Amino acid sequence: MAFTPTLIGWDDVRYRYDIHDLPVYYPKCPHYPSSLIRKYVYNFLPFLETEAIYKWIDSTVSDIMDNSPFQLIHANFMFPSGYIGYRIKKKYGVPLIFHERGIRRLETALKNGRLRGIYSKVVRDSDLVIAPSEKMAEILRRNFPCGGDITVVRDVGDIEISDEAAEPRPNRYQENKIILSVGALIERKGHEVLVKAVRRIKENIPEVKCLIIGSGDRFEKIKQLIHGLGLNDSVEMLGELPHIEVLKIMSWCDVFVLPSWDEAFGTVNAEAMTFGKPIIGCVGEGISEVIEDGVHGFLVEKQDVEALAQAISRILTEIPLARRMGAQSMELSKNVLNYNQISSQMIKLYANILS
């Protein structure tokens, strides 16, 4: 069933690895995490992403329970993991934490009876539901009765990895003002809004350079927009890069911009903050619960090209302001959005359930 380079690579992954003396299993199952397949197949036939997949991994779960019995299930995302966790709980009576991270599928479920029914069952039977933002938590509370609590645990960046990844800016970019944006190339991530903003920024900052990292359905459309606006020398689409390469570029960019909407939080924002970068996001999204407008960066209205251009221009031209914002971002990352804080929070949540 592996018919693309990515799937072929996944097919080569072994069934089991031992990492730090802990067994990690990778059972094979027919799941294709493509946005197009999700939109046109799984949303209409959720059986293919839930019960059908569970049947493929049931024997693996039995193997784990026989050899390394577990006392808690932590399932990330509803499809397919949340549903699989729900089925495992039903079979073994083990407490379930459902950790939803993607707001888009959740909002689709509110309009899709089949998906909504699955969400209702899983949320109702979960001992704890975790969301990355209060915005998503409130959507869950408002629409789905929960057997346990619904709480917020923020996504974070890794300070230690950021220290290892930091590197000097390459010579070819030494004279540029660098905007970085990282995310799936889908409409709601706002890359087309960003490209249009770059055209306005370039009028006063000709040395501006925008680097876009990611892959997705709108890759060609964004390329066409760049060409149509005459920005071939000002906007570079770097495609999908290894995580360490993304972090390296984060370390030497001037500002990180993700003008997305329907966004739970955006882990890349937290990662950029570990490097002390000013952040630009959208008002009313998950990021607005964490960063303060004018302190850690700027918050603009979604799809507002002019406001986005002005916010980026201020950071690129007002150096003392950019430095203050970057310092505040790094401080927030160290004190709030770090693995030590989140690990402590998760350990307390686990202990509460197990007790």
Nearest to residue 198, comparing CAs of 308, 353, 329, 351? Answer: 308
pLDDT greater than 90 at residue 199: yes
Query: Which amino acid would we find at residue 109?
Result: A
Residue 217 near residue 183, CB atoms below 8 Å: no
Amino acid 191: pLDDT: 97
- DSSP calls for 140-157: HHHHS--SSEEEE-----
Per DSSP, what are the bridge partners of residue 18?
Answer: 23
Q: Which residues does 195 contact at the CB level (< 8 Å), separation at least 6?
A: 210, 222, 225, 226, 229, 231, 235
CATH of domain 13-153: 3.40.50.2000
Instruction: Tell me the pLDDT tens digit for each residue of 165-182.
Output: 889 999 999 999 999 999
Amino acid 230: pLDDT: 97
Amino acid 4: pLDDT: 67
Pairing of strands 16-19, 22-25: antiparallel
Amino acid 330: pLDDT: 93
Task: Sort residue 297 into left (φ over 0), alpha (ψ -120 to 50) or beta.
Answer: left
Whether domain 159-335 has CATH 3.40.50.11540: the reply is: no
Torsion on CA atoms 126, 132, 138, 139, rounded to nearest 10 = -80
pLDDT greater than 90 at residue 86: yes
| Nearest-angstrom CA–CA distance, 298 and 223 | 26
Instruction: Tell me the pLDDT tens digit for each residue of 40-80.
Output: 899 899 999 999 999 999 999 999 999 889 999 999 999 99
In degrees, to the nearest 5, what angle opens at C-alpha 159 toward C-alphas 158 and 165? 90
User: Mean pLDDT throughout 343-352?
Assistant: 94
Residue 193 near residue 305, CB atoms below 8 Å: yes
Number of Cα atoms under 13 Å in the Cβ half of residue 25: 14
Per DSSP, what are the bridge partners of residue 213?
Answer: 182, 239
Amino acid 9: pLDDT: 74
User: Mean pLDDT throughout 244-267?
Assistant: 92
Query: Which amino acid would we find at residue 134?
Result: E
- DSSP calls for 246-302: HHHHHHH-SEEE---SS-S--HHHHHHHHTT--EEEETTSGGGGTSPBTTTEEEE-T
Does an H or E element contain 23, and which? Answer: strand 22-25
Amino acid 326: pLDDT: 97
pLDDT greater than 80 at residue 243: yes
Residue 288 vs residues 223, 265, 292, 299: alpha-carbon distances, Å? 29, 8, 7, 7
User: Which residue intervals of the chain bear CATH 3.40.50.2000?
Assistant: 13-153, 159-335
pLDDT greater than 70 at residue 160: no
Amino acid 118: pLDDT: 94
- What average pLDDT is seen over the chain? 91
Return the minimum-mean-pLDDT range out of 17-31, 63-77, 236-250.
Answer: 17-31
**For tokens 């890349």, what's the residue?**
268
Return the minimum-mean-pLDDT range out of 188-192, 293-297, 309-313, 331-335.
Answer: 331-335
Return the minimum-mean-pLDDT range out of 117-121, 199-203, 340-344.
Answer: 340-344
Per DSSP, what are the bridge partners of residue 75?
Answer: 98
- DSSP calls for 199-215: HHHHHH-TTEEEEEE--
In 3-state terms, what secondary structure has residue 75?
A: strand
What is the DSSP code (8-state) at residue 168?
Answer: P
